[in-house]
Structure 1
Amino acid sequence: MNQTRAPRPLTGRMVFAMLVAFFGVVIGVNLVMMRLAIKTLPGTEVDSAYSASLAYEKEIATAREQAARDWKVDAHVERSGQGGATLQVEARDNAGRPMTGLTFEGRFERPTDRRADLPVTLAEVGIGIYRGSAPAIAPGQWDLVLEGASAGQRMFLSKNRVVLN
Structure 2
Amino acid sequence: MRTNTGKSFTFTGWHMLAIMVAFFGVIISVNVTMAYLASSSWSGLVVKNTYVASQQFNGKTAAIREMLATGIEGDLSVSASSIRYRLTLPGDQPVVADSVLAHFKRPVGTVQDFELQLTPAGDGLYVAERAIDSGSWIVEIQAVKDGKLVMHEAERITVSGEQQ
User: TM over 0.5: same fold?
Assistant: yes
Contact kept in structure 2, 1:141 and 1:162, CA below 8 Å:
yes
**Alignment-derived partner of residue 73 in structure 2:** 72
Contact kept in structure 2, 1:72 and 1:96, CA below 8 Å:
no
**Alignment-derived partner of residue 104 in structure 1:** 100
**Alignment-derived partner of residue 114 in structure 1:** 110
CA offsets 1:98-128 (integer angstroms, 9 cap, x no match): 1113421112211122111121110111121
**Alignment-derived partner of residue 133 in structure 2:** 138
Cα separation, 2, equivalents of 1:90 and 1:48: 32
**Alignment-derived partner of residue 148 in structure 2:** 153
**Alignment-derived partner of residue 52 in structure 1:** 53
Cα separation, 2, equivalents of 1:72 and 1:140: 25
Cα separation, 1, equivalents of 2:98 and 2:89: 12
Which has the bigger relative contact order, CA under 8 A and spacing at least 6?
Answer: 2
**Alignment-derived partner of residue 8 in structure 2:** none
Structure 2 stretches of 5 or more lacking a match?
1-44
Contact kept in structure 1, 2:96 and 2:145, CA below 8 Å:
no
Contact kept in structure 1, 2:79 and 2:132, CA below 8 Å:
no
| 1:157 maps to amino acid | H
Q: Matched residues, percent identical?
A: 22
How many pairs are equivalent?
A: 116
Residue 157 of structure 2, aligned match among 136, 144, 162: 162
Contact kept in structure 2, 1:121 and 1:133, CA below 8 Å:
no
CA offsets 1:130-153 (integer angstroms, 9 cap, x no match): 11122x322111112211111222
Tell me the C-alpha RMSD between the 2 structures: 1.8
Cα separation, 2, equivalents of 1:53 and 1:143: 19
Contact kept in structure 2, 1:143 and 1:159, CA below 8 Å:
yes
Greater than 6 Å deviation, 4+ residue runs: none
Cα separation, 1, equivalents of 2:51 and 2:137: 27
Cα separation, 2, equivalents of 1:55 and 1:153: 19
CA positional deviation for 1:63: 1.3
Structure 1 stretches of 5 or more lacking a match?
1-43, 80-84
